[in-house]
Structure 1
Amino acid sequence: MRLAISALAATAMIAGPALAQQSPMPEDLAWKLLELGRVIDPPKTAALYAPLQQKEPYQGVKVERDLKYGPADRHLLDVFTPEAAAPTPARPVLIYIHGGGFVAGNKRVPGSPFYDNIMLWAARSGFVGVDATYRLAPAFPWPAGAEDMGAIVKWVEENIGARGGDPARIFLMGQSAGAIHVASYVSHPEFYKVKGGGIAGAVLVSGIYDLTASPVGDAELAYYGSDPSRYAERSSLQGLVASPIPLLVTAAELDPPRFVAQFELLKQATCKRQRGCARSFMLPQHSHMSEVYAINTPDTRLSDEILEFVKSVK
């Protein structure tokens, strides 16, 4: 099997022996991700990472499930807070927005450790964690995602103080379609429900930022519609460049090529700003799904970048 690995795998393994030696990813797991290749395959990737994750009940963490932030059935969020023995200073807040191609996905599937894994890492790393879901296309097309981001941030700003969170230090993180919704929110102030957007920073993991840069697929058509003349105004690239909100932009080495190209596009666009480039990071060895499934395992490369980004935002 390994002798038949594609040129992609061989190229990736040549990327740097020193890096491979320092990697917290077991070699066998790295090979399995390479064998899967540049695909988006949640079931097969989850099968690799689920055994590395914790199962409920979670020690030392309080979990509140399915709190309502709006009227729709999917206007739900979970809050993870550490069970501190004594009062502590208000903690920064990490909101996580899942992917699913605009038409699927959830903050949690019963029996799965995802995306509780991100919330557990957040609660044990100095944050209050908020895991939220949102309305889906095609029933709820553009701009439902950005509208829901605004409603989530508003709920958090109003309610997180009672749970030990700092409403002035809210960080909004999304992956794949979740990153696109976060980017849409940041870049379109008309969807803000609180002054200035209500967030201290945004973390964009493997998103699409310019719909005009490559052909759109069925998922984008379901959410953005079939009129290409609207794609530029509904894209987030220019708004992200103009926004004063700090950004961390990431993608995975084994992402499908379109996501890598969009990562480079946004990275280069922000570098033309007077204030300089946005913080960016290409995650080695990982794929589109493993980048977030690996959070709360010994592989801390992405979570370390998130921590450094949060510390850098004053």
Structure 2
Amino acid sequence: MTAGETARAIAAMGTRLGPDVVAACRSLFDAEQHALAENIAPVATDCAYGPDPRNRLDLYGEGAGSRPVVLFIHGGGFLVGDKGGESGGENSWANAHVGRWAAANGLIGAVMNYRLAPAHMWPSGAEDVGLAVDWLRANVAAHGGDPERIFLLGTSAGAVHVSAFLKAREDHARLVRGAALLSGLYGFTPLDERDMLYYGPQDCYDLRMPMGAVMATGLPLLIACAAFDPPRFQAEWASLLQARLGRHGHLPRAHYASGHNHYSMAMHLGTADHRLSHELLSFFADHS
């Protein structure tokens, strides 16, 4: 499939969310992502970064030297999602591909699972990101990673958990070098029913959403959304940019992923479409 055909297929999906759209997006990138998977295997799997069975991460990329580390936190609406990998079946490349993409670009890629709602509610996601960061700082040097150059990369619910980590850990700027937030929810729009399975009722919303932390942090940020993100996610992106401008007097680094939707934006990393890849790699390099 050509780049133009892929873009037209994504545009035809519109701004809908759901398992059928996820499956359709995966089919667009299967060939390229399976090729990447054949060339890059994990160097460590199911590393236990915490006590829960979901507190596991995989590492990609290893070698001499001390490389920057990218920790990827998957999406899934707080309720589903998996780090992927060799035991994940026919779609095992999904989410694992971000670790492989990082390794292919000279970085150490870490891809984590985290506890899921409704069994585990707020602030479990932020806690798990913190535990994973702590584990990497203690252990990644043994795999060629630099514990002083860790970056966070979260998409959708994963971006929310990264943002909440900034709120939960006052020492976050000492622990990580920067964070890239793809299609996250920060507190500028009302909760929907699905969100309440993680956050609890609407009256908990203002206290629990990470808006203030993401507005105020001095940590370098890259904030992205997609052309075919649902309007709510676009409103969150635009509102956060405006809030950061008002608070700091300048815009944060930002990316608008033309031709992509909520799922394909992260899913295409490692393919021939290098636009987001170049932006992320430049961001990491600037703050390494």
- Normalised to the residue count of structure 2, the TM-score between the two structures is 0.92
Alignment of 1:180-259 (within 5 A): 180-189=160-169, 196=173, 198-210=175-187, 213-226=188-201, 228-259=202-233
Letter in 2 for 1:224: Y
Letter in 2 for 1:97: I
Letter in 1 for 2:23: P
The question of whether the paired residues in 2 share the 8 Å contact of 1:61 and 1:123 is answered with no
CA distance in 2, matches of 1:309, 1:265: 21
- Please, which of 129, 138, 144 is the counterpart of residue 149 of structure 1? 129
Give yes or no for the alignment of 1:110 onto 2:89.
yes
Aligned-residue offset at 1:143:
0.5
Provide, for residues 2-57 of structure 1, a one-character-per-residue CA deviation record: whole Å limited to 9, x for no partner.
xxxxxxxxxxxxxxxxxxxxxx9611111111111112221121122112212586
Alignment of 1:5-154 (within 5 A): 26-40=3-17, 41-55=21-35, 58-59=38-39, 61-82=41-62, 84=63, 87=64, 89-108=65-84, 109-112=88-91, 113-154=93-134
SS in structure 2 of the partner of residue 166 of structure 1: strand
Letter in 2 for 1:291: M
Q: Which runs of 5+ in 2 are unaligned?
A: none
Aligned-residue offset at 1:106:
0.7
Please name the residue that 2:272 is paired with. Answer: 298
Provide, for residues 73-99 of structure 1, a one-character-per-residue CA deviation record: whole Å limited to 9, x for no partner.
1000000014x4xx3x31000000000
Tell me which stretches of 4 or more aligned residues in structure 1 moved more than 3 Å: 55-58
The question of whether the paired residues in 2 share the 8 Å contact of 1:160 and 1:167 is answered with yes
Greater share of helix: 2
CA distance in 1, matches of 2:174, 2:206: 22
The question of whether the paired residues in 2 share the 8 Å contact of 1:96 and 1:132 is answered with yes
CA distance in 1, matches of 2:41, 2:90: 18
- Please, which of 257, 261, 272 is the counterpart of residue 287 of structure 1? 261
Aligned-residue offset at 1:230:
2.1
| Residues 189 and 132 of structure 1: CA distance in aligned 2, closer, same or farther (over 3 Å) | same
Provide, for residues 266-285 of structure 1, a one-character-per-residue CA deviation record: whole Å limited to 9, x for no partner.
11111123363210111101
SS in structure 1 of the partner of residue 148 of structure 2: strand
Give yes or no for the alignment of 1:177 onto 2:157.
yes
Q: Which runs of 5+ in 1 are unaligned?
A: 1-23
| Residues 142 and 74 of structure 1: CA distance in aligned 2, closer, same or farther (over 3 Å) | same
SS in structure 1 of the partner of residue 246 of structure 2: coil
Provide, for residues 167-217 of structure 1, a one-character-per-residue CA deviation record: whole Å limited to 9, x for no partner.
110001100000000011113325x6xx6451100010000001xx33322
The question of whether the paired residues in 1 share the 8 Å contact of 2:185 and 2:236 is answered with yes
SS in structure 1 of the partner of residue 38 of structure 2: coil
Letter in 2 for 1:295: L
SS in structure 1 of the partner of residue 166 of structure 2: helix
The alignment's C-alpha RMSD in Å is 1.9
Letter in 2 for 1:215: P
| Residues 253 and 56 of structure 1: CA distance in aligned 2, closer, same or farther (over 3 Å) | closer
The question of whether the paired residues in 2 share the 8 Å contact of 1:93 and 1:130 is answered with yes
